[in-house]
Amino acid sequence: MTRVARRSLMAGIAALGAGACSKIDRFATSETGEGLFDTAEGWHREAHRILAGRQALAPEYAPEDRSPSFKGNGSLTVDGPIYREQLAEGFPDWRLAINGLVENPLRLSLDELKALPQRTQITRHDCVEGWSAIGQWTGPQLSRLLDTAKVKPEANFIVFRCADVLYGRRYYESVDMVDAYHPQTIVAHSLNGEPIPEKNGAPLRMRIERQLGYKHAKYLTAIEAVASLDDIAGGKGGFWEDIGNYQWYAGI
Amino acid sequence: MKPRHAISTRIWHWVNAAALVVLFMSGLGISNAHRYLYWGDYGFDPADAWLAVMRFPNWATLPQRYNLAEARDWHSAGAWVFAVALLAMWIAMLANRHFVRDIAAPPSAWSPASVWREVGSHLRGQFGAETGAKYNTLQKLSYGLVLGVLLPLMVFTGLALSPGIEPAAPWLVEALGGRQSARSLHFIVAFALLAFFVVHLAMVLVSGPLRQIWGMIAGGREEPRGKA
């Protein structure tokens, strides 16, 4: 009884007398509520873009600033004998497809990716939960792959397809063209000078350095240029966006 | 007759109060996602934490169940209201001289001996302001600290947590001692504000709550000046 009273009191204060907690929860999931949240988040994204510019870099650190280890979170492996076998052998048969709205679709092996010009960056990884880890990542810039594949002008988003399955759904993520062509956006194959460990997304993981960790798709199998995100999976542009209503723009 | 509280002060007070409640409660929900605080740039291992935070119960969080995405929605929407209102209040109270006339305290008032003396007279129930002043010294100090230090710190430590802000202002994260330090400070200052809120509420309750609250809504009357 007191618990209920206290609940109502707190929520009542939060709404400044507008009503009880159920109303607040209903507001958050109503069209008005979601519209309000989307507007606020759109303003954050616009403010970030205006203040930082399209190409501004996330801070890079010195080797001694790295964290002693790099936490794995979310999917920690890919189920199935094929992945286990590939992991044991160093992924000789793993292919990264670059397709969708491109004139020249590609299918690249790890060796082919490593033969491209590489970018190495020591950056901080911020999880939406609040923790941070610092590691050194190496791989080709996504912009180079997209230029080689010749992205068509009607493409508005780049979708990252993954091998891992969580809660019965295949992981995926997406970014707009600004982050896709950002200089620090790389297809990483190494962490701290070693092949990426299993828990961190072996053999390939995206680095989207100006956004939170859930954007950094692991166990990468394909990169797809699309005009709209509406028809992909749940239509919200990513696994956590679909399943938990997480923000598509993860720069906040 | 001139009201005790300017219209800008009254609007800001209630907008800010609502924004802080939303931000604090959604912030407790966000804290539940990773209940450990660290110093420095990185931190993910509870063994490295300087503080293991309690799990905040559902009645204290927004929404009133664990939902990180929705708590973040509330938090990033509330942040706009809070930060824009704070900026507007600063412009207003510099323009109408409320800050200089009523809140700014001389450096001598900040000395530990003076603060101690003021706390002592408060505890004896003497809340009167000096002749010609709207607020007593302890009010000036706490309002000045809240408006000038704690509330702006919430904005800056909050901005420092956004990976999208950092490319624009890497100096901000550096000045705060790294992202995990900024996160710890965000948490500490939030609870300092909660402490202010509790004392503020208590002071209103012992000094004629209805008159005080109505004054902050309708404006109130300028009190007769002098030591009460």
Q: What is the pLDDT of residue A26?
A: 79
Q: What is the pLDDT of residue B132?
A: 75
Please return the burial class of A35, using the count of CB atoms within 10 Å of its CB with bins 0-12, 13-18 and 19+: exposed
Q: What is the pLDDT of residue B227?
A: 43
Residue B228 lies in a domain: no
**What's the CATH class of domain A63-244?**
alpha beta
Amino acid occupying residue A235: G
- Number of structural domains (chain B) is 1
Residue B198 lies in a domain: yes
One DSSP character per residue, A173-204 reads EEEEHHHHT-TT-EEE-EETTEEPPGGGTTT-
Of the candidates B4, B9, B11, B3, the one whose C-alpha atom is nearest the C-alpha of residue B129 is B4
Amino acid occupying residue A178: V
Contact A183, A55 (CB under 8 A): yes
CB count within 10 Å of CB B180 equals 27
| Chain B residue with the nearest C-alpha to that of A126 | B163
> What is the distance between the alpha carbons of residues B133 and B135, in angstroms, rounded to a whole number?
6
| Chain B residue with the nearest C-alpha to that of A5 | B59
Going from the C-alpha of B84 to that of each of A166, A223, B37, B89, B207, the distances in angstroms are 40, 40, 28, 9, 31
The count of CB pairs under 8 A between chains A and B is: 147
> What is the distance between the alpha carbons of residues A66 and B41, in angstroms, rounded to a whole number?
9
Q: What is the pLDDT of residue A167?
A: 93
The conformation of residue B225, written as its DSSP 8-state character, comes to P
Q: What is the pLDDT of residue A3?
A: 52
Q: Do B33 and A128 touch (CB under 8 A)?
A: yes
Residue B39 lies in a domain: yes
Nearest to A13 among B21, B38, B79 (CB): B21
CA atoms within 13 A on the CB side of B42: 19
Residue B38 lies in a domain: yes
Contact A141, A181 (CB under 8 A): no
Residue B224 lies in a domain: no
List of chain A residues whose C-beta atoms are within 8 Å of the C-beta of residue B167: 52-53, 56-59, 210
pLDDT tens digit sequence for B137-196: 999 999 999 999 999 999 999 999 999 999 999 999 999 999 999 999 999 999 999 999
- The answer to whether A165 faces chain B, any CB pair under 8 Å, is no
> What is the distance between the alpha carbons of residues A143 and A62, in angstroms, rounded to a whole number?
25
What range defines the domain where residue B158 resides?
7-218
For residues B72-93, average pLDDT: 97
CB count within 10 Å of CB A197 equals 15
Label residue B1 by pLDDT band (50, 70, 90). Answer: low
Q: Do A52 and B168 touch (CB under 8 A)?
A: yes
What lies within 8 Å, CB to CB, of A41 at 6+ separation is A247, A249, A252, B73, B76, B77
pLDDT tens digit sequence for A207-236: 999 999 999 999 999 999 999 999 999 999
Contact B185, B153 (CB under 8 A): yes
pTM: 0.91
CATH number of the domain at B102, please.
Answer: 1.20.950.20
Of the candidates A28, A13, A8, the one whose C-alpha atom is nearest the C-alpha of residue B58 is A8
Q: What is the pLDDT of residue A90?
A: 95
What lies within 8 Å, CB to CB, of A204 at 6+ separation is A94, A96, A110, A113, A139, A187, A188, A189, A196, A219, A220
Token digits of residue A69: 């280890």
CA atoms within 13 A on the CB side of B211: 8
The conformation of residue B99, written as its DSSP 8-state character, comes to I
What lies within 8 Å, CB to CB, of A177 at 6+ separation is A155, A156, A157, A158
Q: Is the pLDDT of residue B23 over 70?
A: yes
Helix (H, G, I), strand (E, B) or coil at A2: helix
Q: Do B167 and A56 touch (CB under 8 A)?
A: yes
User: What is the pLDDT of chain B when averaged over all its residues?
Assistant: 93
ipTM: 0.91
Helix (H, G, I), strand (E, B) or coil at A169: strand
Q: Where are the domains of chain A?
A: 2-52, 63-244
Which ranges of chain A have pLDDT less than 50? 1-2, 4-6, 8-19
Label residue B123 by pLDDT band (50, 70, 90). Answer: confident
Of the candidates A131, A22, A242, A233, the one whose C-alpha atom is nearest the C-alpha of residue B69 is A242
> What is the distance between the alpha carbons of residues B156 and B83, in angstroms, rounded to a whole number?
10
Contact A160, A217 (CB under 8 A): yes
Q: Is the pLDDT of residue B31 over 90?
A: yes
Residue B223 lies in a domain: no
